Structure 1
């Protein structure tokens, strides 16, 4: 592979965009690397060095065949500041739950952003959502939805057995409290099984509507 492209890949942890590459080399150099199989396209305009792709699982898309951290890096390269990791992927980045490698990454984007779900990626479009404070914070160089939103939005995606642990840990470690979680829950009146979250017995006093002052 061309030395310039190799250096670009090394600097970026194995991920390079077409725009980045064409700033450094002629188009034919990049296209040759792709045709030779040294670079693999995993998302539109995003390539990964072939040795980092796991081809042992047939039926997987290119993005699914990447290790979780590399998959997130490729998504950020493609999204160019337009997305934040959310739901169960955000819980992983908050350190509250290890996301299985075969589970789709969850992303939240503002309405109107042309980013769609595909195998390995689940995209949530939200009105009045902005990829920046206070709705989004940066953890490990990745944009992530705020803690309370991550907890609440993940609730219906987890099994009944897995639901309590992230919330209990976040509260016990004083990362959040009942008022903050309850206020976020109030913002999502149609959340599946929200009543079970309000009455979570493992957390002590139940989560009350945000006007109350009960604490977990």
Structure 2
């Protein structure tokens, strides 16, 4: 009897539905296993051996088994599966289309219904919603920079498409904070890739004389492409927003110097603004860039 259940659990990644167990053992034998504590219900109808119930992957599988039907890990759980920033610990989230058992468990399992067939992907043998869906649907569950982090990280890693996320957000009329989400996606589509670039776009370069910049312009030097944060093509002026995370090491300084020299060979001057200046001296940053633009125009005349 136990061998039959063990085989079933092995083939199911440590989890088996109650109805599956009853196909290999009698109801009396199954109830005896549960009564003795040899089988434990992680979630309704989803059983595992007691020594496996705290394993993260087993609990994820149990969530899908418990909900049944066409279901996929979603929301914050989906973000975690795509290795995107998500708070932990958190209840497991499952989105289900035509679920058989759409009942959650308070504090442990949240079940979301959808009227549309799921467009899921498989990660480690588990169905997971697309990263755009996980990020958009997680928006009202987070706040502040935690809301933006999954979209920024997914965009930076080219894991998700801002255009696809924006198309999904257009349908989410009643999603809490939808206006702010759409504004963020608009900035991502404009080329912003970090919190610092968002700050520059919305709070530094959003004034007359600076708001005509091109975002994330790609310049080719020889056989290499260089992407610049903020570009003014008429003056051939590149403004780089140097965040602490990516420009702090000596190796990165050397790469920045080599990059600036390469751009200089095609006539582009680079101005670098530090994280500290951008966040503590906005007016000074504006004055400096405006002054350099004016000087470049004067030299070109």
Both proteins in one fold, TM over 0.5 = yes
Matches within 5 A, 1:36-185: 36-53=36-53, 66-101=54-89, 103-110=90-97, 113-119=100-106, 120-127=108-115, 129-131=116-118, 135-185=119-169
> What do residues 174-209 of structure 1 show as CA deviations (whole Å, max 9, x unaligned)?
223432222111111222112222334736468xxx
* TM-score normalised by the chain length of structure 2: 0.56
Q: Which has the higher helix share?
A: 2
Structure 1 pair 38–110 and aligned structure 2 pair: CA distance change class (3 A) = same
Name the counterpart of 2:231. none
Gaps of 5+ in 1: 54-65, 207-213
TM-score between the two structures when normalised by the length of structure 1: 0.76
1:102-139 superposed Cα distances (whole Å, 9 cap, x missing partner): x1111112367540232211111222x113xxx22222
In the other structure, the counterpart of 1:25 is 25
SS at match of 1:107: strand
Cα distance in 1, alignment partners of residues 155 and 215 from structure 2: 10
* The structure with more strand, counted as a fraction of residues: 2
Distance (whole Å) between structure 2 residues aligned to residue 22 and residue 180 of structure 1: 43
The structure with the largest alpha-carbon Rg is 2
* 8 Å contact from structure 2 (residues 68, 100) kept in 1: no
Distance 1:5 1:26 in 2: 11
Q: Using CA pairs below 8 Å that are at least 6 residues apart, which structure has the higher relative contact order?
A: 1
The answer on whether the counterparts of 1:177 and 1:215 sit within 8 Å (CA) in structure 2 is: no
RMSD: 2.7
Counting matched residue pairs gives 192
Superposed displacement of residue 49, structure 1 = 0.6
Structure 2 unaligned blocks of 5 or more: 188-194, 203-213, 217-301
Whether the 8 Å contact between 2:46 and 2:66 is mirrored in structure 1 is: yes
* Cα separation, 2, equivalents of 1:113 and 1:7: 25
| Alpha-carbon distance in 1 for matches of 2:47, 2:74 | 24
